[in-house]
């Protein structure tokens, strides 16, 4: 197997591949799509391109591969459930209204060809379909009553259906009752997969639903991948893949889709820049953050995937880029004392788009590289524009680099790259020695240090606990950090763990992005560090808190948030917390992995 072979195999079948709309079902590789739009007479709107939050849309259980999907939303006083199943190459959709309205809403079924694919869509004798250059043809069937409504903004062939009763739409003739039977069987399989996780069934459901709905077809590179959310991709003009976000998508996918796990790992690794680092972001039209990278978590994720699947071929293909990235970090983000610091360099962008030119070669650019865009840890930190470095020895980055070296050593052995092993071992030992200098005995934790004044920073974040990736951390130091910081409800502990800055910090009340809110990737990386340190009780406590946090918003609203309030656990209390951002599912991943270890 190779990535190219995997990509070709994956670009097949029916699924919700079309990024702008969760109610469009598309077929790869031909690009034929059945789009469902809706006429709500309550406020005279034609509704298309539905996503989470639109009309109260709430996603439900679904499979990874589109063999079962479900969601609900509201049209005035009518609740609408949309379910689908793909079987034997055919697509079956059932739309079920419930509730009363002065006038029944209408569903507009549209036929289209997406992504510039070749073919012809048609409406013949009231039936939708498409024909293709190879002579193939797809037809769309429904046994529902037509409404007579003509959409004024319609630009593709369509059929309008009254939603006075359930309506079936399919590519093979089928009645409502027949589709219902197929859906019930498909749904039962999905629910059984969730229930197999016992007390973590809900956490698995939330993680899978969010990640599977956020998985799309990206036509520029002819690939399947999982951007952070559909709305973010729209905002970037096509797609956007962020560094650690996409590696974490790969990580979560392992609990259900081997293909998707590797597809995401390759998708972000293949965004590698000419300088040899994985960028903060890669987007359409070759727009990338060529001034900065992001947390180096790729080798950790690839190793976790190999541990589950044993796919040597993937490790062999990915290792050169991951090793080069490790080298780049050492050469460009190391301070004279061996500790590591975040950075951003000035450069001439290729395309001149906003995110290529905004805050590069300055302190904010370095904050962006950390992934913690407005963390109080970096308020007023010194910055060297000549080297493009934040002059702050960073416990978090140094710890992640240690773990990157450790994982790459194992990957090098798997890939047969034996010459890299002693190089990586030497780098890891140097980083561990540097980490040791960041221990502050007065406070009982590893702390960031100003590289100009030599003074420790007492602003505590979960990233201080990434020090646990070092094998030199003593039992006494582990005990100190666990009791005084991780589990202390006035620091990082409490009902909901882990706030992105200590609850004692003056910035904690801000609850604005990385100023006090809880972020799933921080919880996950601390969980990995605790695993490395063998701190089993702390791992269990973090897993339980993470599960509880995820289920709060999932059960209340069907949301998986980008971040959560550190005190209340709410996600919807601020506008800058996307409500269906897949890395929120890492909270479920922690719980699932903890039970997987048992």
147: domain CATH number is 2.70.98.10
Give the model confidence (pLDDT) of 563-582 as tens digits.
999 999 999 999 999 999 99
Phi first, then psi, for residue 330 (nearest 5°) are -65, -40
Q: Which of 73, 71, 64 is nearest to 45 (CA)?
A: 73
Give the model confidence (pLDDT) of 243-298 as tens digits.
999 999 999 999 999 999 999 999 999 999 999 999 999 998 899 999 999 999 99
d(Cα 239, Cα 80) in Å, to the nearest integer? 29
User: Within a domain: residue 1?
Assistant: no
In which band, very low, low, confident or very high, does the pLDDT at 102 lie, cut at 50, 70 and 90?
Answer: confident
User: Within a domain: residue 450?
Assistant: yes
Q: Identify the H or E element spanning 216.
A: strand 216-218
d(Cα 80, Cα 73) in Å, to the nearest integer? 5
Look up residue 55 and give its DSSP letter.
G
Same domain, 474 and 527: yes
What is residue 542's predicted lDDT score, i.e. its pLDDT? 98
Same domain, 252 and 373: yes
Same domain, 378 and 448: yes
pTM metric for this prediction: 0.97
Give the model confidence (pLDDT) of 421-437 as tens digits.
999 999 999 999 999 99
**Position 352 pLDDT exceeds 80:** no
Give the model confidence (pLDDT) of 468-526 as tens digits.
999 999 999 999 999 999 999 999 999 999 999 999 999 999 999 999 999 999 999 99
Q: Which of 569, 463, 480 is nearest to 525 (CA)?
A: 463
Same domain, 163 and 300: no
In which band, very low, low, confident or very high, does the pLDDT at 41 lie, cut at 50, 70 and 90?
Answer: confident
Both tokens assigned to 413: 């052995």
Same domain, 164 and 227: no
d(Cα 455, Cα 434) in Å, to the nearest integer? 15
Same domain, 262 and 407: yes
Same domain, 427 and 524: yes
What is residue 48's predicted lDDT score, i.e. its pLDDT? 86
Both tokens assigned to 91: 């697509």
User: Within a domain: residue 6?
Assistant: no
Give the model confidence (pLDDT) of 317-341 as tens digits.
999 999 999 999 999 999 999 999 9
Same domain, 338 and 396: yes
What is residue 103's predicted lDDT score, i.e. its pLDDT? 85
Q: Identify the H or E element spanning 70.
A: strand 69-75
User: Within a domain: residue 4?
Assistant: no
Alpha-carbon radius of gyration of the chain: 25
Q: Which of 282, 284, 318, 325 is nearest to 302 (CA)?
A: 318
Same domain, 151 and 221: no
Give the model confidence (pLDDT) of 364-423 as tens digits.
999 999 999 999 999 999 999 999 999 999 999 999 999 999 999 999 999 999 999 999
What is residue 585's predicted lDDT score, i.e. its pLDDT? 97
Same domain, 529 and 475: yes
Same domain, 208 and 165: no
Number of domains in the chain: 2
558: domain CATH number is 1.50.10.10
388 vs 355 pLDDT, higher one: 388
Same domain, 150 and 233: no
What is residue 254's predicted lDDT score, i.e. its pLDDT? 96
User: Within a domain: residue 79?
Assistant: yes
Which range of residues forms the domain containing residue 548?
Answer: 198-597
What is residue 149's predicted lDDT score, i.e. its pLDDT? 87
d(Cα 13, Cα 65) in Å, to the nearest integer? 9
Q: Do 342 and 296 contact (CB within 8 A), yes or no? A: no
In which band, very low, low, confident or very high, does the pLDDT at 45 lie, cut at 50, 70 and 90?
Answer: confident
130 exposed, middle or buried (CB, 10 Å; 0-12, 13-18, 19+)? buried
Give the model confidence (pLDDT) of 435-457 as tens digits.
999 999 999 999 999 999 999 99
Q: Do 326 and 296 contact (CB within 8 A), yes or no? A: yes
**Position 232 pLDDT exceeds 90:** no
Give the domain-ending residue among 135, 157, 172: 172
User: Within a domain: residue 189?
Assistant: no
Q: Do 126 and 139 contact (CB within 8 A), yes or no? A: no
**Position 350 pLDDT exceeds 80:** no
Sheet holding 287-288, edge to edge: 240-242, 281-283, 287-288
User: Within a domain: residue 180?
Assistant: no
What is residue 269's predicted lDDT score, i.e. its pLDDT? 98
User: Within a domain: residue 584?
Assistant: yes
**Position 354 pLDDT exceeds 90:** no
Residue 344: partners with Cβ closer than 8 Å, 6 or more residues away: 291, 292, 359, 360, 361, 362, 364, 365, 366, 368, 369, 388
What is residue 59's predicted lDDT score, i.e. its pLDDT? 96
CB-CB neighbours of 272 under 10 Å? 21
CA 296 to chain centre: 16
What is residue 357's predicted lDDT score, i.e. its pLDDT? 73
């Amino acid at each position: 197997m190779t990535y190219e072979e995997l990509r070709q195999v994956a670009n097949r079948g029916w699924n919700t591949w079309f990024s702008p709309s969760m109610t469009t079902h598309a077929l790869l590789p031909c690009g034929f799509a059945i789009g469902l739009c809706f006429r709500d007479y309550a406020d005279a709107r034609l509704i298309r391109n539905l996503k989470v939050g639109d009309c109260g849309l709430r996603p439900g259980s679904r499979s990874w591969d589109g063999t079962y999907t479900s969601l609900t939303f509201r049209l005035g006083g009518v609740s609408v459930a949309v379910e689908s199943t793909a079987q034997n190459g055919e697509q079956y959709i059932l739309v079920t209204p419930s509730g009363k309205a002065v006038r029944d809403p209408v569903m507009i079924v549209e036929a289209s060809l997406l992504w510039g694919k070749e073919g012809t869509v048609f409406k013949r004798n009231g039936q939708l379909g498409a024909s293709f250059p190879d002579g193939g043809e797809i037809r769309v069937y429904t046994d529902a009553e037509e409404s007579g409504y003509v959409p004024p903004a319609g630009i593709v062939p369509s059929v309008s259906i009254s939603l006075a009763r359930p309506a079936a739409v399919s590519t093979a003739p089928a009645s409502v009752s027949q589709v219902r039977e197929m859906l019930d069987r498909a749904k039962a399989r999905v629910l059984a997969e969730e229930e197999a996780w016992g007390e973590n069934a809900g956490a698995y459901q939330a993680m899978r639903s969010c990640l599977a709905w956020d998985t799309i077809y990206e036509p520029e590179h002819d690939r399947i991948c999982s951007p952070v959310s559909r709305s973010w991709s729209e905002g970037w003009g096509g797609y956007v893949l962020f560094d650690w976000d996409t590696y974490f998508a790969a990580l979560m996918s392992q609990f259900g889709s081997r293909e998707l796990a590797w597809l995401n790992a390759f998708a972000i690794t293949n965004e590698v820049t000419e300088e040899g680092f994985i960028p903060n972001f890669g987007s359409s039209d070759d727009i990338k953050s060529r001034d900065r990278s992001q947390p180096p978590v790729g080798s950790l994720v690839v190793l976790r995937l190999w541990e589950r699947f044993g796919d040597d071929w993937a490790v062999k293909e990915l290792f050169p880029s991951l090793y080069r990235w490790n080298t780049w970090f050492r050469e460009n983000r190391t301070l004279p004392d061996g500790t590591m610091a975040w950075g951003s360099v000035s450069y001439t962008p290729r395309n001149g788009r906003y995110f290529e030119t905004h805050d590069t070669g300055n302190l904010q650019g370095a904050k962006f590289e950390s992934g913690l865009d407005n963390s109080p840890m970096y308020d007023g930190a010194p910055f060297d524009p000549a080297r493009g470095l934040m002059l702050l020895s960073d416990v978090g980055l140094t710890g992640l680099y240690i773990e990157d070296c450790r994982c790459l050593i194992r990957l090098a052995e798997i890939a047969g790259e034996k010459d890299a092993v002693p190089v990586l071992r030497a780098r890891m030992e140097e980083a561990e020695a540097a980490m040791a200098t960041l221990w502050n005995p007065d406070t009982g934790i590893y702390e960031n240090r100003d590289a100009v004044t030599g003074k420790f920073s007492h602003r505590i974040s979960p990233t201080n606990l990434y020090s646990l990736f070092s094998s030199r951390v003593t039992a006494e130091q582990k005990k100190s950090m666990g009791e005084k910081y991780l589990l202390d409800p006035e620091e990082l502990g409490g009902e909901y763990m882990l706030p992105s800055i200590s609850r004692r910090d003056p910035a904690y009340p801000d609850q604005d992005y990385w100023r006090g809110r809880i972020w799933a990737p921080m919880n996950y990386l601390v969980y990995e560090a605790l695993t490395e340190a063998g701190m089993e009780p702390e791992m269990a406590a973090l897993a339980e808190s993470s599960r509880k946090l995820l289920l709060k918003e999932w059960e209340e609203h069907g949301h998986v948030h980008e971040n959560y309030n550190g005190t209340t656990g709410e996600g919807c209390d601020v506008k800058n917390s996307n409500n269906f951002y897949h890395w929120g599912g890492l909270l479920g991943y922690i719980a699932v992995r903890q039970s997987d270890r048992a």
